[in-house]
Amino acid sequence: MIHNGKVVRLKQSDYSQVTVYDKSPVDLAWEYEDHGIEVVHLVDLDGAKRGAPINYHVLEAIAGHTKLKVDFTGGITTDGDISKAYEYGASYITAATIAAYQPDLFASWIISYGREKMTLGADSLDGKIAIKGWIKKTQIDLFEHIGYFYNRGLKYVKTTDIARNGLLEGPSFDLYKKIIDKFPGIQVLACGGVRNCDDIEELNKIGVFAVIIGKAFYEGNITLDEVSKFCMSQE
């Protein structure tokens, strides 16, 4: 996550519990690349709160100084936002808030930009979708939300159980398994609660497509050497 140009982590969705890490986004990106990581999930936290991307300069720096493919998210609400993200070097887009507010628009993006390039961000708390950087809670059911877009060609969904995010208490294995079982062929990007490589192994066994890690790496629970054996391209 990027906040004011720096790498940060949130505990659950609490913006009063922000941890700022010393290394610059580009320095971290170089480390990822050196260990065989091919795709980085870049969250513009400021953009998510504002409703329009802000940290394009971080996206540009990572895309311009590494060979990493960047999955960019945070405040994407218009075609112009997507075009600009691509111009600054994004390879993939993840959008969340717009999918809740204007589902037909997001569904059209799956077609116009391609299901390989467009990921649904479907983060939830107690089974209900949360948006705008997790600040705003909704009454939208997680499974109904995913199902709407699954029936319109969705291939990738990134989902976080917010209650577990940043706690290092383990992922929501049952949640991810239910999504995979209910929507055959969907590719799940799991985020939140990962403690160690055993968790990644377990997520791999239940069929999760990709795992997004943050705090476990920043706090030293997982090393990049350990992560490298799981690395694979999104394409």
pLDDT, position 235? 39
* Cα separation values, 125 from 64, 134, 181, Å: 36, 9, 20
The residues of the chain scoring below 50 in pLDDT are: 233-235
pLDDT, position 121? 96
CATH topology of domain 2-230: TIM Barrel (3.20.20)
Asked whether the CA dihedral 160, 115, 2, 222 is positive or negative, the reply is: positive
pLDDT, position 15? 67
pLDDT, position 230? 82
CB environment 18-33: b (16+ within 10 A), e (fewer) = beebeeebeebbbebb
Asked whether the CA dihedral 81, 86, 87, 89 is positive or negative, the reply is: positive
Distance of CA 22 to the CA centre of its chain: 21
pLDDT, position 108? 98
pLDDT, position 36? 92
Of the chain, the end-to-end C-alpha distance in Å amounts to: 23
pLDDT, position 13? 57
pTM, two decimal places: 0.91
Residue spans of the domains in the chain: they are 2-230
Q: How far apart are CA 197 and CA 221, in angstroms?
A: 9
pLDDT, position 176? 96
Mean pLDDT of the chain: 91
Q: Which residues contact 221 (CB under 8 A, 6 or more apart)?
A: 168, 195, 196, 215
